[in-house]
Amino acid sequence: MKPNTCIDLLYIILLTGLTHCTTGKADNQVTDIDGHVYATVTIGNKVWMAENLRVTRYRNGDLIPHIEDTTAWSTSTTGAWCNYNNDAGNAAIYGRLYNWYAINDSRNIAPEGWHIPTDEEIAALISLLETKPAMAEIVKAKGLGGYRFCNGGSYHTIDFNGYWWSATRSYEIYDWSSRLFTGFADVQRNRYESNFGLAVRCVKD
């Protein structure tokens, strides 16, 4: 495997929850305030979580409300999290889903020393995947955690599509495509978009 190919694979592995590039550098794990431990991976000069966030508290210890009810999820205007299909067993595999209010809260959902990825950091991933269509099969691996709809709170596309929050909107990847997309739940469009439930991958400061 050529070195640049390995780095390309690591970008896609980061998004699908796999960490099997044998020449990729393994980093120290990171632990959130709840004690959940996450594998990390270095890509270029950035260290990313290699799995989705599962935290239930903000960095200062305040609880993030857990909302299962569909109406309450759709109408909430404060931070909230849920498990896909309200099944706690899904959290260990796919992480948890969060609304935009949790991402945008000043108490900070990311572990100490980490942050929600910026548009610039996501743009680097988008640029890479758009030029590597032959890697589409890798993206179809299990681990894509789907999303929770903003209106009605229903759940969709687990194991088929993955959706994550960035610092200003969202980004997604489809099981049938090697491309990364943005704007699935663009919170700049409409207040209701803030009630999508999406996953989170954090980047080290």
In this predicted structure, what is the pLDDT of residue 94?
92
For residue 168, give the nearest of 189, 147, 154 by alpha carbon. 189
Lowest-confidence pick of 15-19, 70-74, 80-84, 200-204: 15-19
What are the tens digits of pLDDT across the range 19-68? 333 223 445 899 999 999 998 876 657 787 878 899 999 999 999 999 99
How far is it, in rounded angstroms, from Cα 145 to Cα 149? 13
Q: What is the β-pairing status of strands 37-38 and 40-43?
A: unpaired
How far is it, in rounded angstroms, from Cα 114 to Cα 162? 21
Helix 3-16, helix 119-130: angle, nearest 10: 120
In this predicted structure, what is the pLDDT of residue 23?
28
The 3-state DSSP composition of the chain as helix, strand, coil percent (nearest 5) reads: 30, 20, 50
The SS3 assignment for 15 reads helix
C-alpha separations of 159 from 23, 46, 98, 138 in Å: 27, 26, 18, 13
What are the tens digits of pLDDT across the range 132-184? 555 434 434 446 889 999 998 999 999 888 888 999 888 876 666 656 677 78
Q: 4 falls in which pLDDT band (50, 70, 90)?
A: very low
The SS3 assignment for 170 reads strand
- List the domain boundaries for the chain: 3-204
The secondary element (H helix, E strand) that includes residue 164 is strand 161-165
DSSP letters of 40-97? Answer: EEEETTEEEESS-----B-TTSPBPPB---HHHHHH--S--EE-GGG-GGGHHHH--E
Q: 188 falls in which pLDDT band (50, 70, 90)?
A: confident
How far is it, in rounded angstroms, from Cα 170 to Cα 185? 6
More confident residue, 98 or 162: 98
The secondary element (H helix, E strand) that includes residue 135 is none
Query: Does the pLDDT at position 12 exceed 50?
Result: no
Query: Does the pLDDT at position 72 exceed 80?
Result: yes
More confident residue, 133 or 110: 110
- Summarize the confidence of residues 68-92 as an average pLDDT: 96
